[in-house]
Amino acid sequence: MSFKKKVDSNQTKLVNHARKLGASVQHLHAVGGGVPDVIIGYQGKNYLCEVKTEQGKLNALQVKWHSDWTGHSCVIRTENDINNLLGVL
């Protein structure tokens, strides 16, 4: 059975903002299993990021993935979240 994973309404806007700042972005939302929606590369560092709207909540698989992951992961909701993540003003 195949399905199309729902993409949060702000994902395109946030991806475009990260790229405008000079970051590389690879979509991962189709992987499923709680894996974050995107990986952002910036100045030699990689950030696994779950995209959520302002009121969006992590589902059970996402909560488990984030709690089990021993590397850096985060939730981004706004362009300001990306600025803070990348250390840009």
Residue 2: pLDDT over 50: no
Q: Is 82 exposed, middle or buried (CB count within 10 Å of its CB: 0-12, 13-18, 19+)? A: buried
What is the spatial distance between Cα 62 and Cα 58, in angstroms, rounded to a whole number?
Answer: 6
Q: What are phi and psi of 23, to 5 degrees?
A: -85, 155
pTM above 0.75, yes or no: yes
Q: Which domains does the chain have, with CATH numbers?
A: 11-86 (3.40.1350.10)
Of 78 and 1, the one with more pLDDT: 78
Comparing 4-13, 25-34, 55-64, 72-81, the range with the smallest average pLDDT is 4-13
What is the spatial distance between Cα 87 and Cα 65, in angstroms, rounded to a whole number?
Answer: 25
Contact present, 71 and 39 (Cβ < 8 Å) = no
Percent of the chain with pLDDT over 90: 88
